[in-house]
Amino acid sequence: MAESGPGARRPRRSRDDGESGAATPNLPRDMSNMSFEELLELQSQVGTKAYKQLVATAGTKKQDSRPRVQNACVADKHKPLEMSAKVRVPFLRQVVPVSKKVARDPRFDDLSGEYNPEVFDKTYEFLNDIRTKEKELVRKQLKKHRSGEEHEKLRQLLQRMEQQEMAQQERKRQQELRLAQKQERRVQAQQGHRPYFLKRSEQRQLALAEKFQELKRSKKLDSFLSRKRRRNAGKDRRRLPVSKE
C-alpha cells in the first residue's frame, strides 16, 4: 500500500516525463545568443528529447534564413561568365574558354597522304632552277669577299649546296635503278618467268657499280678514290691502340 502523509516520499519524475506530461514552458526563439549554463537549464526544463528537437529546428531555420546564391549563368556563350559577389571566386578559373591548338606534322600525318618520291620530284621540279640561281649568286658573292668571316660563311654555304645537289642526283640515280629493275621483273613476268627480287646486299653492289661507272665517265674517279683512301686511313689510325711511354 502506498505511503501517504506529509512524511511520505514522492516518486521521482524523469526528464522525459515532462515531454508528454506537463506543459512545455515558453521556448526562446534564438538559441545562438544563449550561454552554456542557460542551455543546460533549458535542457533540464524541457527534457532531452524536446531539447534535441528544438536544436534541430533552430538549425534548419538558420539554414533557411541564409540568402540563396544564384548559380553562375551565362546569357550568351560569347559573353564572359557572370559570378556572384557573395561566392568566393576560385583562384584558378577559366574566364573565356579557349580551344587548344593541336600541332600537326605533315610528315607523320595520314591526312597528308603517302610519300611518293617520283611524284614529289615531278611536282617540285621547278625548285631545281631556283637552287641553280641561288648557287650562282653565292659564287658571285664569294668572288667579291676574298677573305674574312663573310668569305668563310659563303664558302660553307656553297659547299653545303653542292653536297645537297650531289645527294639529290644520287637519290635520282637510285630511283632510276629501281625503276629499271621493276621494268625488268615485269617483262620476265609477261614472258612466263618467275620474277627474282634482289637482296639488299645485291642492290648495294649494283648501286656501287653504277656509281663507279658514273665517276669514270665524269673523270672524277681518281679524286673519289683518293678521298676514300684518306678516310679509311684516318679510321685505321683511330682504331690503333695508343702506345704508353
Segment 105-134, tens digit of pLDDT? 887 888 878 888 888 888 998 999 999 999
- pLDDT at residue number 63: 53
Long-range contacts of 48-54 (CB under 8 A, 24+ apart): 48/15, 48/16, 49/16, 49/19, 50/18, 50/19, 50/24, 54/27
Which residues, 6+ apart, have CB-to-CB distance to 161 below 8 Å? 131, 134, 135, 138
Q: In this structure, are residues 35 and 8 in contact, taking their beta carbons and an 8 Å threshold?
A: no
C-alpha pair distances (Å), 92 with each of 70, 88, 89, 95, 120: 21, 12, 9, 9, 49
User: What pLDDT is attached to residue 20?
Assistant: 41
Question: Which segments in the chain show pLDDT lower than 50?
Answer: 1-25, 69-72
> What is the torsional sign of CA 213, 216, 217, 218?
positive
Per-residue model confidence (pLDDT) at position 18: 42
Q: Which three cell numbers stand for residue 81?
A: 561568365
Tell me what pLDDT residue 19 has.
41
Distance CA 78, CA 95 (A): 11
Q: What's the length of the chain?
A: 245
CB 185 within 8 A of CB 196: yes
* Spatial distance between the Cα atoms of 237 and 235, rounded to a whole number of angstroms: 5
The residue type of 101 is K
Q: What is the pLDDT of residue 22?
A: 41
Alpha helices in the chain (DSSP H): 17-20, 36-46, 48-65, 117-123, 126-144, 149-190, 200-217, 221-239
Contact indicator for 185, 197 with CB cutoff of 8 Å: yes
pLDDT given at position 243: 65
